[in-house]
A and B are shown apart, each in its own frame.
Chain A
Amino acid sequence: DAGVIQSPRHEVTEMGQEVTLRCKPISGHNSLFWYRQTMMRGLELLIYFNNNVPIDDSGMPEDRFSAKMPNASFSTLKIQPSEPRDSAVYFCASSGTANTEAFFGQGTRLTVV
């Protein structure tokens, strides 16, 4: 298995633009997580899905952030409009069952200028 695949690996965009981050979880996994990592806050859970349904989005910072999971093999995290403070590394992770570890993608480094 290729593992969790995220795209793009790097994204540089101007403030105010829409940004879409993509994630393909490991086949057969039924939980998917989006995390944001910054030097100041470390790893923060933004949202997680179970069987394509959003279970907890309490970590989504504000209405500019939205996430979807239209099917078991694809998820997106969208920021509209983007702001410089959104600059961070965004990780996607997936998990098969409740007592196994989450497998992480390589992350998307987002820079908003």
Chain B
Amino acid sequence: AQSVTQLDSQVPVFEEAPVELRCNYSSSVSVYLFWYVQYPNQGLQLLLKYLSGSTLVKGINGFEAEFNKSQTSFHLRKPSVHISDTAEYVCSVTLSGSSYKLIFGSGTRLLVRP
């Protein structure tokens, strides 16, 4: 069965510092990968997605992620964070093909400090 692991429940970082949020998945078949962001008291908003092609995916707000099939990872990065990036970041995976079932990781809270 597919699953998503986000080992870091919270990542504190100072403003303008780089950040990497880790995501690993397990699946025996091809997958599609997504990162969502959730601001307080709001629903989830798509940051970026990997379907196929280039393994480096760029998203909104300066975020990017790299798909690494051999390590089954899809880590999210930003070279310089802002206070406004403070939010919950959730990685998700679904199987490619007809069996569409979006599974989420437990989320990582990014806390940007001045």
Contact = CB atoms under 8 A, between A and B. Distances in A.
Interface of A: 4, 31, 33, 35, 41-43, 45, 48, 50, 55-56, 91, 93, 95, 98-99, 101-102, 104-107
With most chain B CB atoms within 10 A of its CB, the pick from A31, A55, A99, A101 is A101
A101 B101 contact: no
B96 to A, nearest CB: 7
With most chain A CB atoms within 10 A of its CB, the pick from B36, B100, B106 is B100
Contacts of B97: 98
Contacts, number: 54
Interface stretch (B42-50, B60-68, B76-84): B42-50
Interface in B70-102: 90, 94, 96-102
A99 to B, nearest CB: 5
Contact of B100 (A91, A98, A104): A98
B42 A101 contact: no
Nearest to A91: B43
A91 B107 CA distance: 15
A4 B42 CA distance: 13
Given A45-B101, A45-B104, A98 B94 contact: yes
Given A91-B44, A106-B42, A107-B43, A43 B94 contact: no
15 contacts: A33-B102, A35-B104, A42-B106, A43-B104, A45-B101, A55-B101, A56-B101, A91-B43, A98-B32, A98-B100, A99-B32, A99-B96, A102-B102, A105-B43, A107-B42
B49 A101 contact: yes
Contacts of A48: 100-102
A41 B51 CA distance: 27
